[in-house]
Amino acid sequence: MDRRRTSIVALAVVLSTLCAVRRSASATAISAEAESHLVEIIAVLQKEWVYRSKMDWNVFRTRVFEKAGAAQTIPDTYDAIRLALTMLGDRHSYYRTAGGENMWNPESPTQVTGKCEPAPIVTPSLPADIGYVRIQITPPTPKLAIQDVLRKEDRPETIGWIVDLRNSRGGATWPAMAGIGSLLGEGTAGFFVDALSKAMPWGYTGGRAWLGDETVEEIAAPYRLRVPNPRVAVLTDIGVASSGEAVAISFRARPNTRSFGTATCGLSTGIDTFLLANGARMNVAVGVMADRTLTSYGGVVEPDEIVEDPTQVVPRAVAWLRHRSPSHR
């Protein structure tokens, strides 16, 4: 074989090797589809997440893409998305696939067995002069059913009310707010405070539960209590989460009001949904809940009076409403 032919053969071998290396690199690189999906998610979080100023986004991005590795399809990115949710750490933001599957921070109460599970609720017989209304968010207590209870319990001898929110999970805040509005009272009851400290108020006026300038739920003919702005004892426990916490916060700093029980679950943030290009959704914590004095929460809501024993929660509430100890009959 002459030197020229040898050189040509050698060049061919080199080119062949380079092509093989390029094919191998191409096969192990993340696909454009997978990369674009993760870039879109990170962009939404970096722009909208309430705690965004506290995150090192360069580190965040690097770790997410390291986890994604050579992902070729969007489902291949799911482990990276789970890592992203874990790194956020807020326990409330979540991702919903285009197929409808929800994906959470593994530390979220929805993912940890026994997390935010309260002790069995104990509700002893109540005296005739105490009104009692129980509110559930999931499954929801209908707003008109709440109104019916207020109407039934509002007797001439009623001196105060118990609003029982124990084990009231996330769901739709506003039907409950409209239903209990007659007892909550009119005006601003709370706020969502965003990353720039901009506060959007929520509250109740004349049958309307509202958020900012928008009426989000309404009752045509709301019941009016015999005695406006009565004393109210609010009951909470670790089962109160998300929308349940919004209702609890609405009673914070209300005149003639005191809360009893144990701290809530700790999901007192507001979620907004952002549609992604492939039909998936990022549900992002965009604000923390604050009471009518603009005291911000974002985590658990502590009651005014801690009562660990479930059998004593209602008696302590009744005693406060009556201004006397549970031992006095």
Number of structural domains found in the chain: 2
Q: 164-193, pLDDT tens digit by residue?
A: 999 998 888 999 999 999 999 999 999 999
Whether the per-residue pLDDT at 30 is higher than 80: the answer is: yes
Segment 305-328 shows an average pLDDT of 84
Domain annotation covers residue 21: no
Same domain, 151 and 101: no
pLDDT score at 112: 67
Same domain, 212 and 195: yes
Q: Which residue has the tokens 């290009």?
A: 277
pLDDT category at 111 given cuts 50, 70, 90 is low
pLDDT category at 113 given cuts 50, 70, 90 is low
Going from the C-alpha of 23 to that of each of 11, 18, 26, 35, 76, the distances in angstroms are 18, 9, 5, 19, 20
Same domain, 173 and 220: yes
pLDDT category at 114 given cuts 50, 70, 90 is low
> 131 and 161 in contact (C-beta within 8 Å)?
yes
Residue 103: φ, ψ to 5°? -130, 125
CATH classification at residue 145: 3.90.226.10
CATH classification at residue 88: 3.30.750.44
- The two tokens of residue 3 are 């030197």
pLDDT score at 11: 32
pLDDT score at 16: 40
pLDDT score at 324: 54
Same domain, 86 and 150: no
Other beta carbons within 10 angstroms of residue 160's beta carbon come to 19
Domain annotation covers residue 60: yes
Domain annotation covers residue 119: no
Domain annotation covers residue 78: yes
Segment 194-222 shows an average pLDDT of 97
Domain annotation covers residue 189: yes
Picking from 115, 90, 80, the residue whose alpha carbon sits closest to that of residue 283 is: 90
Whether the per-residue pLDDT at 328 is higher than 80: the answer is: no
Q: How far apart are CA 2 and CA 10, in angstroms?
A: 12
Same domain, 260 and 272: no
Same domain, 76 and 225: no
Same domain, 227 and 273: no
Q: Tell me the whole-structure pTM to 2 decimals.
A: 0.86
Same domain, 72 and 193: no
Domain annotation covers residue 328: no
Same domain, 187 and 222: yes
Q: How far apart are CA 177 and CA 252, in angstroms?
A: 14
Picking from 211, 172, 174, the residue whose alpha carbon sits closest to that of residue 190 is: 211
Same domain, 55 and 86: yes
Whether the per-residue pLDDT at 26 is higher than 80: the answer is: no
Whether the per-residue pLDDT at 280 is higher than 70: the answer is: yes
Segment 204-214 shows an average pLDDT of 97
The domain containing residue 86 runs over which residues?
Answer: 27-109+268-284
Domain annotation covers residue 290: no
Q: How far apart are CA 272 and CA 47, in angstroms?
A: 12
Residues of the chain above pLDDT 70, percent: 88
| Strand ranges across the sheet with 130-134 | 130-134, 160-164, 231-236, 257-261, 305-306
Same domain, 255 and 182: yes
Domain annotation covers residue 121: no
Same domain, 193 and 241: yes
Three-state SS sequence of the chain: CCHHHHHHHHHHHHHHHHHHHHHHHHHHCCCHHHHHHHHHHHHHHHHHCCCHHHCCHHHHHHHHHHHHCCCCCCHHHHHHHHHHHHHHCCCCCEEECCCCCEEECCCCCCCCCCCCCCCCCCCCCCCCCEEEEECCCCCCCCHHHHHHHHHHHCCCCCCEEEEECCCCCCCCHHHHHHHHHHHHCCEEEEEEECCCCCEEEEEEECCEEEECCEEEEECCCCCCCCCCCCEEEEEECCCCCCHHHHHHHHCCCCCCEEEEECCCCCCCEEEEEEECCCCCEEEEEEEEEEECCCCECCCCCCCCEECCCHHHHHHHHHHHHHCCCCCCC
Lowest mean pLDDT, pick from 47-61, 229-243, 294-308, 311-325? 311-325
pLDDT score at 109: 79
Whether the per-residue pLDDT at 91 is higher than 50: the answer is: yes
Q: 147-163, pLDDT tens digit by residue?
A: 999 999 999 999 999 99
> 168 and 245 in contact (C-beta within 8 Å)?
no
> 48 and 274 in contact (C-beta within 8 Å)?
yes
Question: 153 — alpha (psi -120 to 50), left (phi > 0) or beta?
Answer: alpha
